[in-house]
């Protein structure tokens, strides 16, 4: 093998050239991540307390939230598939013209 170094992709090469993150920015990232973790735990405890006090309405709300999320997921998936089909159709038409 003439070249013993592994081949790197463009993203990995870019990351290798980056300087180390400054401590202040790293602390800010850790603070945001910690806040998100604490917020998630508080939300989980709130849902558990609500479930213990009002089990059926809580289950109903959770099912409604899941249903809305699933509906949004399906709509976005259908739109993405439609956009991909249109793009493929355009590419096929461009290829036939050439």
For 65-94, how does the pLDDT look when each residue is reduced to its tens digit (9 = 90+)? Answer: 999 999 999 999 999 999 999 999 999 888
Supply the pTM of this predicted model. Answer: 0.57
pLDDT of residue 59: 96
pLDDT of residue 53: 96
- The domain limits of the chain are 9-53, 55-98
Chain segment 8-61, per-residue pLDDT in tens: 678 777 777 777 778 888 889 999 999 999 999 999 999 999 999 999 999 999
Angstrom distances, CA of residue 87 to CA of 20, 74, 92: 40, 20, 9
Alpha carbon distance, N-terminus to C-terminus of the chain: 41
Structure tokens at 91: 């590419």
Cα radius of gyration rounded to whole Å, the chain:
25
Structure tokens at 1: 């093998």
Output the DSSP codes for 9-52.
-HHHHHHHHSPPPPHHHHHHHHHHHHHHHHHHHHHHHHHHHHHH
pLDDT of residue 22: 81
């Amino acid at each position: 093998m003439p070249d013993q170094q592994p081949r790197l992709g463009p993203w990995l090469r870019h990351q290798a050239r980056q300087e180390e993150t400054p401590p202040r920015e790293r602390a800010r990232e850790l603070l945001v991540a910690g806040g998100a973790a604490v917020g998630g735990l508080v939300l989980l405890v709130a849902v558990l307390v609500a479930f213990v006090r009002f089990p059926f309405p809580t289950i109903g709300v959770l099912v409604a939230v899941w249903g809305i999320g699933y509906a949004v997921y399906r709509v976005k998936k259908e739109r993405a598939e439609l956009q991909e089909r249109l793009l493929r159709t355009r590419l096929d038409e461009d290829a036939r013209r050439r």
